Amino acid sequence: MSQTSKRISFAELRPRFRDGMSILFGGFLGVGTPDGIVRAILDAGVGNLTVIGNDTATPDSGIGVLIAARRVGKVVASHIGTNPETGRQMIAGEIEVELVPQGTLAERIRCGGSGLGGVLTPTGVGTVVEEGKTRLSFDGVDYLVERPLRADLAILKAHCADHAGNLVYRRAARNFNPIMALAADFVVAEADEIVPAGAIDPDLVMTPGVLVNALLLAGEQ
């Protein structure tokens, strides 16, 4: 990585992957998930991963590729219904799945990025979601204490990036990507296009470069 650009190659990213690591991933049904980085993780041969995101897409798309290859030990997601392989492995006891309501998932990650101890939410009170959690009551309303989420690595998919790491997403592919950029020790984005620093109108930046450690150009290997 040069002093003036955060762009790296897929080969330079590979040492970041290791067995047992945790990964925050952007995407909704695979849209907005960086396919090139997922493939690089698969090719690196690492396993027993913890993946954290909205869903597990399908067996042949998004993060589901890693699940189908049995590289994932734990999933933290809002739903898994679009990926039968995730459900099959869960029922067989081959993978641990923690289902988290979508808004709660987003706020737990935001807490992880903000250095907060948790978030109070009434979602899940009186259901299986409450099991093992602290319940507090304020002004007659019961809340669950949901702890923050962080990860070793966050993988994002951007439509356009500049060399400083400022990111722009394309329409619905934005989804969870900006939140994931907040709460990982190392944040890497795969962009369809990388332009000179300053070429993106600051008003259009959706994730500021200060949050991004490295950039990859989609389609390169």
pLDDT in tens, 166-194: 999 999 999 999 999 999 999 999 999 99
C-alpha span between 71 and 91 (Å, rounded):
17
135-138 and 119-121 strand pairing? unpaired
Residue 186 lies in a domain: yes
CA 213 to chain centre: 15
Residue 94 lies in a domain: yes
Residue 6 lies in a domain: no
Tell me the Ramachandran region of residue 199: left when phi exceeds 0, alpha when psi lies from -120 to 50, beta otherwise: alpha
User: What would the pLDDT profile of 68-108 be if each residue is shown by its tens digit?
Assistant: 999 999 999 999 999 999 999 999 999 999 999 999 999 99
What are the beta bridge partners of residue 75? 51, 97
Residue 178 lies in a domain: yes
Q: What share of the chain is helix, strand, coil (3-state, %, to 5)?
A: 25, 30, 40
Residue 120 lies in a domain: no
Q: How far is CA 203 from CA 33, 39, 75, 80, 126, in A?
A: 24, 32, 35, 35, 43
Lookup: tokens for 69? 């290859």
Residue 110 lies in a domain: no
CATH number at residue 82: 3.40.1080.10
Q: Are 160 and 185 in contact (CB under 8 A)?
A: no
Q: What is the mean pLDDT of the chain?
A: 96
Residues with Cβ within 8 Å of 93's Cβ and at least 6 positions away in sequence, in order, are none
What's residue 221's pLDDT?
A: 67
Q: How far is CA 105 from CA 138, 145, 197, in A?
A: 22, 12, 33
Q: Residue 98 CB: number of other CB atoms within 10 A?
A: 12
Residue 176 lies in a domain: yes
**Mean pLDDT calculated for residue range 130-146:** 96
For the ranges 3-7, 176-180, 216-220, the maximum mean pLDDT occurs at 176-180
b/e sequence 161-175, b meaning 16+ C-beta within 10 Å: bbbbbbbbbeeebbb
**Mean pLDDT calculated for residue range 112-123:** 96
Name residue 97's amino acid: V
**Mean pLDDT calculated for residue range 22-41:** 97
The structure's pTM equals: 0.94
Residue 111 lies in a domain: no
What's residue 220's pLDDT?
A: 83
Residue 2 has pLDDT above 70, yes or no: no
What range defines the domain where residue 183 resides?
Answer: 18-99+150-217
In the chain, how many domains are there? 1
Lookup: tokens for 116? 């907060």
